[in-house]
Amino acid sequence: MGADGPTISSERAAEIFNRAAGKRAIVLGDMVVDEHIIGSARRLSREAPLPVIEEHERVLVPGAATNVATNLRGLGCRVAVAGLVGADAMAVRLGEQLATRGIETDGLIRDVDRTTAVKLRIWAGGDRQRPQSMIARVDSVDRAPVKRASADAMASFLAAAIPEADALVISDYEAGVVSSSVLQAALPSARAAGLVITADAHGQLARFHHATLLTPNQPEAEAELGREITSVTDALAAAGELREAIEVEAVLVTLGAAGMALDAGDRGRACIPAAVAGRVADPTGAGDTVAATMTTAILGGATPCEAALLSALAARIVVRQLGVAVVSADQIVSEAGDDDT
């Protein structure tokens, strides 16, 4: 970010992540499998004017709320997830992925009447002249109302887990899991226990009254305010409006290539340029990484502005990679060191 905006030293970044290491976070939200088919397009189909993809690789990774969880874990936190999956093969594979990463899955509630959410992305290209590009995405998401028994099971898990936690991160992709009853089971006890509460939600931000942090992107902030955000300066004003209206400690509005706008009241306000260096391969999951990094940094004693700077560096790392990616504290410290030079 250098001369164009505020910076953070690698020494300070390391101090923050060292202090956050071992803190316990619960991630509540929509559990999703991100599936990637990576191949090459060498000819057109005879049935329709579409490319035929020759598959080279198929990859399954945690997505949505589970991507937030893997990023928190990658940054050194202890992590448990709370959400719904089906009683199917994808749920088993997702559970294995999380367990391999050291994430606790006792709060992963299986519902025999539900299918595990899968978001399939198809990539083509890959030779020297044609880098990989996403050519299609297919979402299979069960948006049926959550059954009472499943909601009760999540509430029971949260009641036991929250008193032992340091942070609650709510990742709502609007698949119905983050219902009013589940929030009622989580938010009051999290506030009473003094947890850092981060809400990364696709809509209805007012539900997270008195949270610590909101991390909406520009369209989500616009939808909540009922108006367009026309500039970075306007985004900073919008962050302030949301902070005051919802009565949270800080709001970070992410603006894609335009950067971020942070309003934390008396604790600071800042417009942070996008920390993008090199080619952007894929922005998928960058918002999840921002929410995870902001939460971890706050747990490590960072000011809101420091946390936002670290989040911008984390986003810079993950958008260089294909598909959702997990960032580590060491990578962010190294990235901050590159900015020092």
User: Which residues are identified as catalytic?
Assistant: 288
Q: 117 has which bridge partners? A: 32
Nearest 5°: the CA angle 211, 145, 104 is 55
| Phi, psi (deg, nearest 5) at residue 336 | -65, -35
Spatial separation of the C-alpha atoms in residues 249 and 267, rounded to whole Å? 9
Q: CB count, 10 Å around CB of 23?
A: 21
CB distance 146 to 134 below 8 Å = no
Greatest alpha-carbon span in the chain: 63
Tell me which residue has tokens 């940094």. Answer: 297
| Phi, psi (deg, nearest 5) at residue 85 | -135, 170
Nearest 5°: the CA angle 227, 231, 233 is 100
Short-list 30, 35, 117, CA closest to 323: 35
Range 159-181 burial, b when 16+ CB lie within 10 A, else e: eebbeebbbbbbbbbebbbbeee
Question: Cα 155 to chain center, whole Å?
Answer: 22
Residues 6 or more apart whose CB falls under 8 angstroms from that of 171 comprise 27, 28, 29, 30, 64, 65, 68, 200, 201, 288, 291
